[in-house]
A and B are shown apart, each in its own frame.
Chain A
Amino acid sequence: MARITASVYTSHVPAIGAAMDLHKTAEPYWQPLFKGYEFSRQWMREHKPDVVFLVYNDHATAFSLDMIPTFAIGTAAQYQPADEGWGPRPVPVVKGHPELAAHIAQSVILDEFDLTVVNRMEVDHGLTVPLNLLFGSPGEWPCPVIPLAVNVVLYPPPTGNRCFQFGRALRKAIRSYPEDLRVLVLGTGGMSHQISGPRAGLINSKFDKAFLDNLSRDPKKLTRITHLEYMREAGAEGIELVMWLIMRGALDDKVDEVYRFYTVPASNTAVGHIILANRSGK
Chain B
Amino acid sequence: MALDKPYLDVPGTIIFDADQSRKGYWLNQFCMSLMKPANRERFKADERAYLDEWAMTEEQKQAVLARDLNWCMRTGGNIYFLAKIGATDAKSFQQMAGSMTGMSEDEYRAMMLGGGRSIEGNRYLGEDGDAQPHRQPQGARPAPRNKA
Contact = CB atoms under 8 A, between A and B. Distances in A.
B112 A202 contact: no
A196 B83 CA distance: 10
Nearest to A193: B116
Given A155-B15, A236-B13, A85 B40 contact: yes
Given A197-B14, A267-B94, A84 B37 contact: no
Contacts of B37: 83, 87
B87 interface: yes
> Among the interface residues A59, A83, A198, A207, which one has the most CB atoms of the partner chain B within 10 A?
A198
A20 interface: no
A36 interface: no
B10 interface: yes
A256 B141 CA distance: 51
A152 to B, nearest CB: 10
Contacts of B124: 232
Interface string B71-82: 001000011110
Interface residues on B, range: 35 or more
Interface string A187-226: 0000010111111111111110000000000000000000
Tell me the dominant secondary structure on chain A's binding face: loop
Contact of A202 (B69, B87, B93, B131): B131
Contacts of A227: 7
A198 B136 contact: yes
A227 B6 CA distance: 10
A60 B78 contact: yes
Given A85-B86, A154-B16, A196-B69, A201 B116 contact: yes
Contacts of A60: 28, 31-32, 78, 80-81, 83-84
B94 A202 contact: no
By size class, the interface of chain A is 35 or more
Interface string B28-62: 11011011110010000000000000000000000
A231 interface: yes
A194 B117 CA distance: 10
A201 B101 contact: yes
Interface string A241-263: 00000000000000000000000
Interface string B9-30: 0111111111001001100110
A268 B97 contact: yes
Interface of B: 6-7, 10-18, 21, 24-25, 28-29, 31-32, 34-37, 40, 69-70, 73, 78-81, 83-88, 90, 92-94, 96-98, 100-102, 108, 111-113, 115-117, 119, 122-124, 131, 133, 136-138
23 contacts: A15-B92, A60-B32, A60-B80, A65-B28, A83-B35, A84-B35, A84-B87, A85-B84, A85-B88, A155-B17, A194-B97, A196-B79, A197-B70, A197-B73, A198-B70, A200-B98, A200-B117, A201-B108, A228-B7, A231-B10, A232-B10, A233-B123, A267-B93
